[in-house]
Chains A and B, each alone.
Chain A
Amino acid sequence: MTAQSCPRQHCATTMDSAALEPSLYTVKAVFILDNDGNRLLSKYYDPELYPSMKEQKNFEKNVFNKTHKADNEIAFLEGMTIVYKSSIDLFFYVVGSAQENELMLMAVLNCLFESLSQMLRKNVEKRTLLDNMDGVFLVVDEIIDGGVILESDPQQVIEKVNYRADDSPLSEQSVAQSRSNH
């Protein structure tokens, strides 16, 4: 009975990998969570993987619960290979299929982290990240396009995004402005 209610169960246990179909589609999903496991940013590139928001958030919860305690860099959950990294109050995840080359996923994760670290002047923490959320969206967009690795060199990413993290964060600005509007 339980087997039917969890449609993904069959994948969950198959760590066996058939030969991988040659393809540029490498990344299944990428997400950034805060230290309570709340989603700050997530992108799912395979429409068949967790099509609904509810499934996505469940997956993220599950991944977070299994990974936030130990900084182990790599995990295998729900039939997916997941590489991850944490920084202060942030958790970065890159998800690929069970058969995916783990090092390719690591290359994506490292590029994401390094780019953000440069952009945020090494202050990779929740508050700075949220204050520069537009830059974060652009960085992710430059690294992965529809599941294809677009760029893996952080230097290149930073150049392409050409974003300056502001000393006076946007949110304050907008707060000030919205106050002056009233």
Chain B
Amino acid sequence: MIKKFDKKDEESGSGSNPFQHLEKSAVLQEARIFNETPINPRRCLHILTKIIYLLNQGEHFGTTEATEAFFAMTRLFQSNDQTLRRMCYLTIKEMANISEDVIIVTSSLTKDMTGKEDVYRGPAIRALCRITDTTMLQAIERYMKQAIVDKVPSVSSSALVSSLHMVKMSFDVVKRWVNEAQEAASSDNIMVQYHALGLLYHLRKNDRLAVTKMLNKFTKSGLKSPFAYCMMIRIASKLLEETEGGHDSPLFDFIESCLRNKHEMVVYEAASAIVHMPNCTARELAPAVSVLQLFCSSPKAALRYAAVRTLNKVAMKHPSAVTACNLDLENLITDSNRSIATLAITTLLKTGSESSVDRLMKQISSFVSEISDEFKVVVVQAISALCQKYPRKHSVMMNFLSNMLRDDGGFEYKRAIVDCIISIIEENPESKETGLAHLCEFIEDCEHTVLATKILHLLGKEGPRTPTPSKYIRFIFNRVVLESEAVRAAAVSALAKFGAQNDDLLPSVLVLMKRCMMDSDDEVRDRATFYMNVLQQKQKALNAAYIFNGLSVSVPGLEKSLHQYTLEPSEKPFDMKTVPLATAPITEQKTEIAPVATSKLPEKVAPSRQDIYQEQLAAIPEFQGLGLLFKSSEPVQLTEAETEYVVRCIKHTFANRMIFQFDCTNTLNDQLLQRVLVQMEPSEAYEVLHYVPAPSLPYSQPGSCYSLVRLPEDDPTAVSCTFSCTMKYLVRDCDPNTGEPDDDGYDDEYVLEDLEVTVADHIQKVLKPNFGAAWEEIGDENEKEETFALATVRTLDEAVNNIISFLGMQPCERSDKVPENKNSHVLFLAGVFRGGHDVLVRSRLALADGVTMQVTVRSTDENVVDVILASVG
């Protein structure tokens, strides 16, 4: 009869899962039989299984019903059925957080944990610890200690692992069981060894000396458990990293010796540890790489995967170390596990030669649709790196990327592709049109606002300067019709750039713009109205200032200035010149390619370094009323690296003053320095107005002193100056151990290296996205031109880099990159001179014997032009 019923059940389809249509209320109803005498173990067991199954499916149990079932369950301890008892333990653990008063079972569990039935003891300990809190733990402490050193492995392991879980909650109690854990570690059972080691490490991990001792002991005594070995390797590599110890240390030797362990798990752990060590040399890597190479041909997929993933890691930093494995990797590119194949190919792309690129790309495109997004991103990263290495391959890559762009995929994946295409466009001008075309196609169906706006911005920047700008208009205007507000606004801005750059497109752009003025969104309408009015003026200068080259001020700075302005209402209009400039242009031209995976979108615009300095300096009373901080230099070292005192200087430039900030560190632990200042002797007409000493400089705590200097007012062209610097201070000797200083001290001084102020300190970098427009905007009123011969410079690259670092101006239009095999080059530089004068430099370079350079300078101020030319010469 049973059989018959079963069959019918199966036919109806629901019989395949006897738990499928369980109802919580029905099951709880059934649980009432727990109270029946005598207990029917089979039925009770089945009901408990149902309850655990329901909990596992995510069924919600209310506190009352859970507590009721829990209390009924406690009666089942009267039965001696083994499986039933074990299921009770499981129920206790599952319900520990949903039922009330679970501690009611404490005595039953304690009885089981100390009883004669070994099968119960381990699981009872684990269940007991699950419902125990710190106060109750002390009550069972005696039993726990006994259990840890119990000769039955399952009891000892259970006690050790449960102790580990409780370390978080009751560290102080568990700490007292160290001796027991120590004893357990010498057990013959491999799992007990492993668990004891784990607990000991967790208890001691903040005491490096104790960890080192423990590790020494266990590496000598030789544990048997492969898991314990893996744990020891991790502890050893962590110690190595913390101590920054050299690789000749015994810890490294231990890890290396594990490469010869008989367990693959340990060998792999050791190889992986070596590969992940910072500053590993090729020689140290070699043995690790060769075991990984062996694993590449393992029949086990997990081992091949582990090996090739680790090799991929090595190839990022040391491609040459992996070259020996190329053959083994080649065998993996057709691996049926696509993750392995992808990793093998991307590793080969890093290590292989240019000739193999086409073949590998073809291979990978055959299965790219089958792999997960995570690996697709790995592929894109490999392509990115490859494009930098072999720029000539960009057409193959571009083709491949555009196909990937058409596939399905998540945001991270698409972003990686878009970033990669953009970087190819920027590196290879000849790929610009194909790249833009692919991106245009992509935004036709792009669900990611961030990417759409990014691409629209790029189209606005690059599109107008292509041979046929009109073909992009359609793609852009489609966005205005179809997309969300943010994308529509970006599209309007892009359109405006086409209108401003191309006169013949202007009428049509104006028509489109007029339609955008009807948009339902404020931002879109505002932008359209604004651009409409600018464009209708048909003035190059206006276009340059308001369409091509946006704000060059720092956004937090602008926010602060505007806030200040609203606090102190004045008759004067708000002056943009009073806002600090953005120190690092946010729209840097070069997209960083490597960290595609790690780049995080900054949530908020963090205050720039300069904003921080501005605030720090304003807090010093002597420096009130200097106005706005114009520029802060990078720190200049005024001492050798390992001297008694380490001093570096940051130069802060204001409108007509400079502040020198000396960051000093005292590296002598037997001295306390007081009243520290740096005396400065200028070579030119600079005048030191004021010194602000650092009151006290204890051992290894950096402190700052300042000098305020007036710039020469009568000669605006005197921008460079050399200062000889001497640090003066009062020394008080002190006890190196206690740091207690002597009562009296003596004056002393210390000669520092000379400090140079150059023209670069007076100029702030500003990026002009459209240099040509900015050049026209300034006009030739103050233009000057001169030709120089740079006899000592041998290449154009060197010349370009010298000029940029000397003038401290921002290269525009990617003109800092000199194309290969060219004899001439034009470099565009933009900046703002102290006092808020725009300055632009166009430098034509020609390579003959040396480099000949024709420099043209334009600025809003005549003096500035002279300053630049004078300093170049």
On whether A103 and B56 interact (CB within 8 A), knowing A70-B336, A141-B90, the answer reads no
Digitize B116-144: 1 where CB-to-A-CB distance is under 8 Å, 0 elsewhere: 00010011001000000000000000000
- Contact present for B154 and A20 (CB under 8 Å): no
Q: Which residues of A contact B154 (CB under 8 A)?
A: 151, 156, 160
* B241: A residues at CB distance < 8 A: 19
Given contacts A21-B238, A74-B301, A131-B18, contact A16 B227 (CB under 8 A): no
Contacts of B160-213 to chain A: CB distance below 8 A: 161-162, 164-165, 191, 194-195, 198-199, 201-202, 205
Q: Per a CB cutoff under 8 Å, which of A22, A24, A102 touches B306?
A: A102
Inter-chain contact B161/A146, CB cutoff 8 Å: yes
In the complex, A150 Cα to B126 Cα: how many Å? Answer: 11
Quick one: which of B57, B158, B205, B302 contacts A74, CB cutoff 8 A?
B302
A104 CB-CB contact with B under 8 Å: yes
Q: Which A residues touch B230, using CB under 8 A?
A: 101, 104
- Chain A positions 134 through 146: 1 when the CB is less than 8 Å from some CB of chain B, otherwise 0: 1101100100011
| Pick from A10, A75, A101, A175: contact of B339, CB under 8 Å | A75
Which residues of chain A are near B18, meaning CB under 8 Å? Answer: 130-131, 171, 175
Q: Interface 1/0s, chain B 250-284, versus A by CB < 8 A? A: 00000000000000110011001100100000000
Please name all residues of chain A whose beta carbon is closer than 8 Å to the beta carbon of B601 when the two chains form the complex.
Answer: 3
Nearest-CB residue, chain A, relative to B18: A171
Residue of B nearest to A24 (CB): B198
Complex-state Cα separation, A137 to B50, whole angstroms: 11
User: Does B531 count as interface, using CB distance less than 8 angstroms?
Assistant: no
Q: With A15-B309, A131-B18, A170-B45 given, is the CB distance from A9 to B411 under 8 Å?
A: yes
Contacts of A175 in B (CB 8 A): 2, 5-6, 18
B554 to chain A, nearest CB (A): 25
Q: A145: which of B126, B238, B411 is its contact (CB, 8 Å)?
A: B126
A2 to B238, CA, bound (A): 36
Is residue A117 contacting chain B, with contact meaning CB distance below 8 A? Answer: no
**Chain B hits for A102, CB < 8 A:** 268, 302-303, 305-306
**Residues of chain B lying within 8 A (CB to CB) of residue A176:** 2
Measured between C-beta atoms, what is the minimum distance from B295 to chain A in Å?
10
Tell me if A106 counts as interface (CB < 8 A to partner B): yes
Partner of B302, one of A39, A103, A131, A151: A103
Q: With A and B bound together, what is the CA distance between A152 and B225 in angstroms?
A: 11
Inter-chain contact B411/A126, CB cutoff 8 Å: no
Partner of A177, one of B5, B43, B90: B43
Chain A residues near B416: list those with CB within 8 A: 13
Taking a contact as CB atoms under 8 Å apart, the answer to whether B227 and A152 are in contact is yes
A12 to B412, CA, bound (A): 9
- Nearest-neighbour CB distance to chain A for B230, whole angstroms, equals 6
- Closest-by-CB residue of B relative to A70 is B336
Contact B300 A73 (CB under 8 A): yes
**CB-CB contacts below 8 Å: B1-28 with A:** 2, 5-6, 16-19
CB pair A104–B238 under 8 Å, yes or no, is: no
Contact A22 B238 (CB under 8 A): yes
Binary per-residue interface labels of chain A (147-182) against chain B in the complex, 1 for a CB within 8 Å, 0 otherwise: 011111000100011110000001111111101000
User: Is there a chain A Cβ closer than 8 Å to B375's Cβ?
Assistant: yes
Chain A residues, CB < 8 A from B235: 22
Determine whether the beta carbon of A173 is less than 8 Å from that of B234: no
Residue of A nearest to B451 (CB): A2
Q: Once bound together, how far apart are the Cα atoms of A14 and B157, in whole Å?
A: 35
Can you name the residue of chain B whose Cβ is closest to the Cβ of A171?
B18
A60 to B326, CA, bound (A): 36
In the complex, how many angstroms separate the beta carbon of A67 from the nearest chain B beta carbon? 10
**Chain B: interface secondary structure?**
helix
Compute how far the CA of A177 lies from the CA of B199 in the bound complex, rounded to whole angstroms. 48
A147 to B89, CA, bound (A): 18
B214 to chain A, nearest CB (A): 11
State the CA gap A9–B158 with chains docked (Å): 36
* B80-88, B585-593, B664-672, B794-802 - interface stretch: B80-88
Contacts A134-B45, A134-B83; A76 near B302 (Cβ below 8 A): no
- Complex: A70 Cα to B339 Cα, angstroms: 12
Q: A19-B276, A74-B305 are contacts. A134–B161 as well, Cβ < 8 Å?
A: no
The yes or no answer to A127 lying at the interface (CB within 8 A) is yes
In the complex where A12-B373, A72-B336, A106-B302 touch, is A133 in contact with B268 (Cβ < 8 A)? no
- Residues on B with C-beta less than 8 A from A70 are 336-338
- Chain A residues with Cβ below 8 Å from B378 are 15
Q: Are B46 and A170 in contact (CB under 8 A)?
A: yes
Contacts of B757 in A (CB 8 A): none
Nearest to A76 among chain B residues (CB) is B374
Contact with B along A47-90 (1 / 0, CB 8 A): 00000010011000000001000101111111100010000000
Interface centre among B2, B374, B448 (most CB of A within 10 A): B374
B48 touches A134 (CB 8 A): yes
Q: Give the residue among A13, A23, A41, A127 with the most B Cβ atoms within 10 A.
A: A13
B596 contact set on A, CB distance < 8 A = 13
* Docked complex Cα distance between A170 and B194 (Å): 37
Could you show 17 A-B contacts with beta carbons less than 8 Å apart? A16-B313, A19-B237, A22-B205, A22-B235, A24-B195, A24-B231, A34-B17, A56-B58, A101-B230, A102-B305, A102-B306, A103-B303, A130-B18, A133-B49, A134-B83, A148-B195, A162-B119
| B residues apposed to A, CB below 8 Å | 2, 5-6, 16-19, 42-43, 45-46, 48-49, 52-53, 56-58, 82-83, 86-87, 90, 119, 122-123, 126, 154, 157-158, 161-162, 164-165, 191, 194-195, 198-199, 201-202, 205, 227, 230-231, 234-235, 237-238, 241, 264-265, 268-269, 272-273, 276, 300-303, 305-306, 309, 313, 336-339, 372-375, 377-378, 410-412, 416, 447-450, 596-598, 600-601
Additional A-B contacts beyond A1-B449, A74-B305 (4; CB < 8 A) = A102-B306, A137-B90, A145-B126, A170-B46
For the complex of A and B, 7 pairs with smallest distance between CB atoms = A24-B198, A53-B58, A73-B301, A171-B18, A22-B234, A2-B411, A103-B265
